[in-house]
Structure 1
Amino acid sequence: MSNVSRPPPAVQPQNPDLGCPRTVCEVWMRFPLSRPTLGDQESENVRDAMAWGWISGTGSYVSAFERSLEQRIGRAFATVVSSGTTALEIALSALGVGPGDEVLVPALTFAAPAAAVLTVGAVPVLCDIDAETWTIDVEAARALRTPRTKAIITVDLMGHPCDYERLAELEISMVEDAAQAHGARTGKGPAGSFGVASIFSFHVNKAITSGEGGAVLTDDEELAEKVRLLAHHGMSPHHRYHHTVAGRNGRMTNLSAAIGTAQMARWDELVAGRREAARLYDARLNGLGFSPRPQRTGVLPSCWLYCVTSPERDAVVKRARHRGVDARAIWPALSDLPLYRPYARLPCPQASKVSRTALWLPTWSHLTPEDVEAVTEVMV
């Protein structure tokens, strides 16, 4: 079996909100937005887990995945869970965030951080982003801090780490959302090593995947114990069926962990492959009216999904999708959505600007120069 995944034969559902007629959107895209890179070891691990019958939330691959994360990121404790969103919810709960508390959240991100805050009963307070990195604006966060501020979720947006040195000056408990930042680094350490806790996602569109899945990492042993307790039904690890808190089933299955463990062994390969895809796109789109996402000096970002901005974003997306390329507009700013707009106490103009001009292009770890040429041909 090749280490490079083959395109799936099934019809891929598309988003009709991007201006693509239904009859076109329902056909299979020649170039999907993302594709997992799976190989022989992933298949062998899954077969092994099935042969032993350990396919639920316990098993040797779960613990192996956790140990490999601890070693890779350099944190003392890792707990794998069912998704990145679950990881955020459990991390916040373990920190004691709840009703009456406020949590600062960047206005430009996938909705999961804000949704997780609401899920634990707290109030998300939306902060604008800065133009230099598209990550949370430190001065906006400072202005929005109140006596009720219990935590801040710092999203390493599209693989670019936040300014953790300046954020530390705020003296607010940080949960680093490194869901999109596998392999990113600052001069102080890898993405996932900052804050009192950090989280990863291993959704299928991430560089390292377990299909669905996430993890909470920390160096605080007491916090790690709370995370594990909450993720395992609140059941004491020493007394089966003795529940000490109201927990949930947030566990990752051993089947998912079997895939994730194999992917962890290929971390360098898979992260480097996406960086190479970004390099190819940069070279191909240079001078054609597209601007790559900004990067701060002294930071090594990773490439989750390759992102550019264009004043003609919507027309580019429509043209690409009509020709079988699954280009997509990025998320709208949370501050522009009716559900979350009430949580924006100050304007978020930078988040709105980026959300209206940025798009993603098909990205995976074994994207070839020929693939990149074919994708970019339909954009101009």
Structure 2
Amino acid sequence: MSRPTLGDQESENVRDAMAWGWISGTGSYVSAFERSLEQRIGRAFATVVSSGTTALEIALSALGVGPGDEVLVPALTFAAPAAAVLTVGAVPVLCDIDAETWTIDVEAARALRTPRTKAIITVDLMGHPCDYERLAELEISMVEDAAQAHGARTGKGPAGSFGVASIFSFHVNKAITSGEGGAVLTDDEELAEKVRLLAHHGMSPHHRYHHTVAGRNGRMTNLSAAIGTAQMARWDELVAGRREAARLYDARLNGLGFSPRPQRTGVLPSCWLYCVTSPERDAVVKRARHRGVDARAIWPALSDLPLYRPYARLPCPQASKVSRTALWLPTWSHLTPEDVEAVTEVMV
């Protein structure tokens, strides 16, 4: 479905980390990765952690989200945002998506807000930023989930620059990868200190083995950061490569009964995994996989899963509709026109 684009610098960084013996959660590549993220996104503080899911959990904990609180979560997303809310002891409240962007529906979120609403996780779904100007009107603390949105932008700034905190994932299927990994970014120094404290066992940075809160080991290893630092230097190249893959797919599938995902005017989305919809989605996926192409149906709507259905207080018809018609096609930054032709030939 997706492949990392790795080169000589990634290998050289890993060999360097190994030669010095810095292979755990401390080392020069960890701090270098954090500084490069701050510069790229334009946020004051970045803390790299072990995964995007860990980043969500720590961001929520640092904001004081816990038992008795509610957090609004889009009904169409990977399960990590809802799972993170449950992990910190709060209640996820599933919200339908907007038909024109597939991101969280602002008016649906407004209708679901209660005095117990402590935060909202705004997922930049498949690389499309949410409508942050309208979401700000809700006056709810936002955690931007930019896990799939490396390189996306709105007129107000890049993905990852919105909300009181934002998170990224650097899983191997992302445009920028460290194998596994994530990050929490913020402009709030006090919040950044809480994030770092929680990710380092709750141990005071000034008094070793003195634990001031119940934290966890959420650290990214220096080996992973060595890869991530090299990938950051290639950000523009890797993001552009996936956009070109999307352009090739668009051209190849035009007029063949597939609809590209919608896009809001004034937004430059990124391409995480190329996505289209088809009324014959399941048949298309079955045919492609039978012929050796790793096409996949997207996630089911969380509101349609038995585990999360009780957290949908209002119907989420748009999330269900998209989840039943959308599919992903193989996507990576060095996908060639020949690769795209081979994939699309088996779909029609």
Classify the TM-score, shorter chain.
over 0.9
Q: CA deviation at 1:56?
A: 0.2
Q: CA deviation at 1:311?
A: 0.3
Q: CA deviation at 1:77?
A: 0.0
Q: After superposition, give the CA deviation of every residue in 1:36-67 in whole Å (9 maximum; x if it has no partner).
A: 00000000000000000000000000000000
Measured in 1, the distance between the counterparts of 2:101 and 2:16 equals 43
Measured in 1, the distance between the counterparts of 2:41 and 2:314 equals 35
Tell me what 1:163 maps to.
131
Q: Does 1:229 align with 2:203?
A: no
Measured in 2, the distance between the counterparts of 1:153 and 1:112 equals 11
Tell me what 2:92 maps to.
124
Measured in 2, the distance between the counterparts of 1:228 and 1:324 equals 44
Q: CA deviation at 1:327?
A: 0.2
Q: CA deviation at 1:332?
A: 0.1
Q: Does 1:194 align with 2:162?
A: yes
Measured in 1, the distance between the counterparts of 2:345 and 2:32 equals 43
Q: Secondary structure at the match of 1:199?
A: strand
Which 5+ residue runs of structure 1 have no aligned equivalent? Answer: 1-32
Q: CA deviation at 1:373?
A: 0.2
Measured in 2, the distance between the counterparts of 1:266 and 1:341 equals 41
1:93-242 mapped onto 2 (5 Å cutoff): 93-242=61-210
Q: CA deviation at 1:302?
A: 0.1
Q: After superposition, give the CA deviation of every residue in 1:252-311 in whole Å (9 maximum; x if it has no partner).
A: 000000000000000000000000000000000000000000000000000000000000
Q: CA deviation at 1:349?
A: 0.1
Measured in 1, the distance between the counterparts of 2:167 and 2:98 equals 22
Q: CA deviation at 1:240?
A: 0.6
Q: Secondary structure at the match of 1:287?
A: coil
Measured in 2, the distance between the counterparts of 1:239 and 1:256 equals 27
Tell me what 2:237 maps to.
269
Q: After superposition, give the CA deviation of every residue in 1:5-63 in whole Å (9 maximum; x if it has no partner).
A: xxxxxxxxxxxxxxxxxxxxxxxxxxxx0000000000000000000000000000000
Q: Detail structure 1 runs of 4+ shifted over 4 Å in the superposition.
A: none
Which 5+ residue runs of structure 2 have no aligned equivalent? Answer: none
Q: After superposition, give the CA deviation of every residue in 1:54-102 in whole Å (9 maximum; x if it has no partner).
A: 0000000000000000000000000000000000000000000000000
Q: After superposition, give the CA deviation of every residue in 1:353-377 in whole Å (9 maximum; x if it has no partner).
A: 0000000000000100000000000
Q: Secondary structure at the match of 1:356?
A: helix
Q: % of aligned pairs identical?
A: 100
Q: CA deviation at 1:165?
A: 0.1
Measured in 1, the distance between the counterparts of 2:259 and 2:68 equals 42
Q: After superposition, give the CA deviation of every residue in 1:153-192 in whole Å (9 maximum; x if it has no partner).
A: 0000000000000000000000000000000000000000
Alignment size in residue pairs: 348
Measured in 1, the distance between the counterparts of 2:166 and 2:103 equals 16
Measured in 1, the distance between the counterparts of 2:182 and 2:291 equals 34
2:275 to 307, 314, 324: 307
Measured in 1, the distance between the counterparts of 2:109 and 2:332 equals 33
User: What TM-score, normalized to structure 2?
Assistant: 1.00
Measured in 2, the distance between the counterparts of 1:230 and 1:80 equals 12
Measured in 2, the distance between the counterparts of 1:296 and 1:174 equals 20
CA RMSD, 1 decimal: 0.2
Q: Secondary structure at the match of 1:78?
A: strand
Q: Secondary structure at the match of 2:218?
A: coil
Measured in 2, the distance between the counterparts of 1:34 and 1:325 equals 12
Tell me what 2:316 maps to.
348
Q: CA deviation at 1:138?
A: 0.1
Q: CA deviation at 1:107?
A: 0.1
